[in-house]
Amino acid sequence: MKEDKTLTCCECGQEFVFTASEQEFYAEKGFTNEPRRCPTCRQARKQRMGIQTERPQREMFPATCAECGKETMVPFKPSNDRPVYCRDCFNARKAH
């Protein structure tokens, strides 16, 4: 069982905790090195380097469910040649 570790940031010199769950996440991803920067410096470095840290907002389109007639929003532009389903109807169809 992994335990929390206290590390020192190579950039700002502040101590930060490398939690057991973060260590397990790193191991699952195959990372062998511990983080050298605290979360604040890591985030700042990503911004300086132009690394996108959040997903862009998806454009959503209005649609009417072909099954129940409910108004819904979908992440693609509906075309008239294929039916569009609300989340509930889509999941019900997928379960069959």
pLDDT, tens digit (0-9, with 9 covering 90-100), for 64-74: 999 999 999 99
Report the pLDDT value the prediction gives residue 54, as an integer from 0 to 100.
Answer: 66
Report the pLDDT value the prediction gives residue 95, as an integer from 0 to 100.
Answer: 82
Report the pLDDT value the prediction gives residue 50, as an integer from 0 to 100.
Answer: 80
Phi and psi of 81, rounded to 5°? -90, -5
Backbone CA torsion sign across 77, 82, 86, 90: negative
Q: Residue 45 has which token pair?
A: 């470095």
pLDDT tens track for 24-68: 999 999 999 999 999 999 999 988 888 766 677 789 999 999 999
- Predicted confidence band of residue 1 (pLDDT cuts 50, 70, 90): confident
Exposed/middle/buried for 81, CB within 10 Å: 0-12, 13-18, 19+? exposed
Instruction: Find the angle CA(43)-CA(44)-CA(50) to the nearest 5 degrees.
Output: 90
Phi and psi of 58, rounded to 5°? -75, 140
